[in-house]
């Protein structure tokens, strides 16, 4: 074997895992989400920045506030998933850099004093953390239904007000329900993607 993970773990995280579109009504606990976070928080980012912010939408009121901003094709599944997470990037992540990068605290002002630079970095590194989160959901034996079909400006205003957060994705989370999966989409072959110089 050329991979350290056994075949079952590879299947759980990648080969058999898919975006879920339906879920059972089995609840997802705060303890499960905390365990997911405690695992995926170690994923690498530039300068050890941690821009990802997660809003767990559990209440009926919160769900209604979110669903109105989802694309029509995503409204029903977001309404019925056991748990929905809004994943956002904190564009003011640099304020935490001195504590998160203690060997180089001056990085905060040296590299991230300009808003445009911070937003670009928060988007890239927040997206990396969002991907780790999805893999963490799978590692917990749950299914994830990540979506970007929504009114981003509407969600930002609804959940973050005039804050410095930008939504990256909305993720439905739970045990997969009936007919949860669309057919597996094709993937590019190794030789189409990888070159050596």
Evaluate whether 136 touches 173 at the Cβ level (below 8 Å).
no
Q: Taking the model in full, what pTM does it have?
A: 0.95
pLDDT tens readout for residues 90-106: 999 999 999 999 999 99
Any domain includes 86 = yes
| CATH code for the domain in which residue 41 is found | 3.40.109.10
Please indicate, yes or no, if residue 2 is contained in any of the structural domains: no
Q: CB–CB of 13/143 below 8 Å?
A: no
- Percent of the chain past pLDDT 90, that is, above it, reads 95
The tally of domains found in the chain comes to 1
Is residue 191 in some structural domain? no
- Quote the mean pLDDT of the chain: 96
Which pLDDT belongs to residue 152? Answer: 97
* pLDDT value, residue 162: 78
Residue 192 falls within a domain, yes or no?
no
CB 132, CB 87: distance < 8 Å: no
Question: What does the DSSP 8-state code read for residue 155?
Answer: H
Say if CB 165 and CB 126 are below 8 A apart.
no
24-78 pLDDT, tens digit each:
999 999 999 999 999 999 999 999 999 999 999 999 999 999 999 999 999 999 9
Residue 1: pLDDT over 90: no
User: Is position 144 within any domain?
Assistant: yes
Residue 106 lies in a domain: yes
Confidence of residue 112 (pLDDT cuts 50, 70, 90): very high
Provide the domain limits for residue 31: 19-176
Contact 12, 136 (CB under 8 A): no
Cα(47)–Cα(166) distance, integer angstroms: 20
112 is a domain residue: yes
The whole-number average pLDDT for the span 170-183 is 94
């Amino acid at each position: 074997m050329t991979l350290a993970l056994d075949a079952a773990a590879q299947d759980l995280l990648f080969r058999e895992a898919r975006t879920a579109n339906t879920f059972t009504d089995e609840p997802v606990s705060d303890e499960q989400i905390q365990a997911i976070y405690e695992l995926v928080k170690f994923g690498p980012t530039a300068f050890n920045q941690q821009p990802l912010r997660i809003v767990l939408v559990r209440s009926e009121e919160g769900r209604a506030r979110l669903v109105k901003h989802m694309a029509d094709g995503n409204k029903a599944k977001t309404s019925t998933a056991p748990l929905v997470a809004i994943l956002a990037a904190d564009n003011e992540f640099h304020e935490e850099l001195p504590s998160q990068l203690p060997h180089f605290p001056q990085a905060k002002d040296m590299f991230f004093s300009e808003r445009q630079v911070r937003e670009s970095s928060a988007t890239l590194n927040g997206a990396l953390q969002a991907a780790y989160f999805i893999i963490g959901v799978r590692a917990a034996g749950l299914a994830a239904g990540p979506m970007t079909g929504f009114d981003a400006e509407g969600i930002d205003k609804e959940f973050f007000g005039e804050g410095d957060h930008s939504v990256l994705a909305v993720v439905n989370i739970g045990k997969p329900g009936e007919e949860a999966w669309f057919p597996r989409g094709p993937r590019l072959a190794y030789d189409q993607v990888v070159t050596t110089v």
